[in-house]
Amino acid sequence: MERKIIALALVIVLIAAGLATGLIWLTSQANVPAEIRVGYITGDVHHLPYAIADNKSVGGGQSIFAKHGLNVTPKGYATGAVIMENGFAQNEVDIAYVGAAPAIAKHLNLGKNMVNTSIISQVNKEGSLLIADNTIDDPSDLVGKKVAAPSKGTIQYLMLLKFLEEYGMNISGDPEPYNGTATYIGSVNFTEAPTGTMKTLMQKPVTDQDHLSAFIAWEPIGSDAVAAGVGHILATSQDIWGNHPCCVIVVSNSFAARHPDAVEKFISAHKDAIDWINAAKLNVTSNDYSLLVSITKSFTAKNETVSKSALAQVKYDYEITESFEAMLKEFTEKMIDFGIIQSAKLTYNGNDYSSVQDFITRYIREDYV
């Protein structure tokens, strides 16, 4: 009889444990929505970790996202500024890969009442090129010439301003006075240009009013122009702002409040994808590296030569460190100096930041990484 009672008690304990485990699993899954809408810039090798995490071959038959219990729906955009303005402000995305500059500028300029977001992970460092045509041998040759960036809301534009300032130049018609320490030598004619048109515009005759003498863009745009013989590298982003953070993952705060487990799973998948990329890049004779190049070619619609060159320019990283936070603070201060953000925006339209440091401290969330 005793044995039967003990056996029955053991069965009850096992059933209870199973029910508890099932309840915990159901609770966790209930916090994960049926779909997560993810934004990224199309053809931008900086945002390659999305393609890696979504690729079934990388995951051995199941994508990294799926392994973490996530169903993601991608939405491609032309620039990070558009992701912030349309993706988040119009509630088109829940999470997105965005350049640090537009993530900062649009959050502040539009205000938390329009774009209530947080930075929750890094994506990459560096990975942009300043390309010049064959008439430009020295930075000073850019004076009076047409120079392009994807838009004024990008990190590339911010780097262009920093580069010009270092060599004694600014943007023609810039209302901000020249504040560089180098002797002022003149201005360049700035224009915004979609990345897909930059190589074509540089190929136009120098006498054509649309000809670009130089442009700065994320990879693989620069490597593609170099491979085609259209231009040469005048400076890399490492030359301009060594080891600078570039793209970050941004989340809607309302989505994060409703689905914290989903955000945590997304960042776990993101970390796995970056670890896979970095391991593959370390062994260029491996099957994983071949797969990495193949996915890059598909994601960017560029050939193998361009894809390999672009991959070599980018440092993938998800860590949020003190240096990362310090450089984002420097980005913000530079954007205020250059007039991209007005300091009054720190307290605009729902913003309640007492200083740039207060903004950075509260805008970056470290709890998911």
pLDDT of residue 2: 54
230 and 254 in a common domain:
no
pLDDT tens for 160-208 read 999 999 999 999 998 778 889 999 999 999 999 999 999 999 999 999 9
- The Cα 130–Cα 151 span in angstroms is 14
Output the domain CATH number for residue 234: 3.40.190.10
> Collapsing DSSP states into helix, strand and coil, what is residue 263?
helix
Instruction: Judge whether 368 and 264 are in contact, CB under 8 Å.
Output: yes
Check pLDDT > 70 for residue 252: yes
pLDDT tens for 120-141 read 999 999 999 999 999 999 999 9
Q: Domain span at residue 73?
A: 36-125+247-363
Residues 6+ away with beta carbon under 8 Å from 212? 133, 146, 147, 148, 191, 193, 198, 201, 202, 204
266 inside domain: yes
Residues in the chain: 369
Closest CA to 270 of 237, 247, 293: 247
Q: Are strands 146-149 and 95-99 parallel, antiparallel or unpaired?
A: unpaired
211 and 65 in a common domain:
no
Which DSSP state fits 364? B
pLDDT of residue 16: 42
Mean pLDDT calculated for residue range 266-288: 98
51 and 199 in a common domain:
no
Q: State the chain's mean pLDDT as an integer.
A: 92
**Which of the listed residues 206, 240, 274 is the one where a domain comes to its end?**
240
pLDDT of residue 13: 39
pLDDT of residue 240: 97
**Which of the listed residues 240, 269, 285 is the one where a domain comes to its end?**
240
346 and 255 in a common domain:
yes
* Burial class of residue 324 (count of CB atoms within 10 Å of its CB; 0-12, 13-18, 19+): buried
Residues 6+ away with beta carbon under 8 Å from 67? 59, 269, 272
**Which of the listed residues 224, 240, 256 is the one where a domain comes to its end?**
240
Could you tell me the two tokens for 319?
């860590």
349 and 301 in a common domain:
yes
Q: Is the dihedral of CA 261, 266, 272, 275 positive or negative?
A: negative
25 inside domain: no
State pTM to two decimals. 0.90
Check pLDDT > 70 for residue 327: yes
101 inside domain: yes
5 inside domain: no
AA letter at 341: I
pLDDT of residue 30: 54
Q: What percent of the chain has pLDDT over 70?
A: 92
Domain count, the chain: 2
368 inside domain: no
pLDDT of residue 175: 79
**pLDDT band at residue 153 under the 50/70/90 scheme:** confident
Q: Which residue has the tokens 């391991």?
A: 279
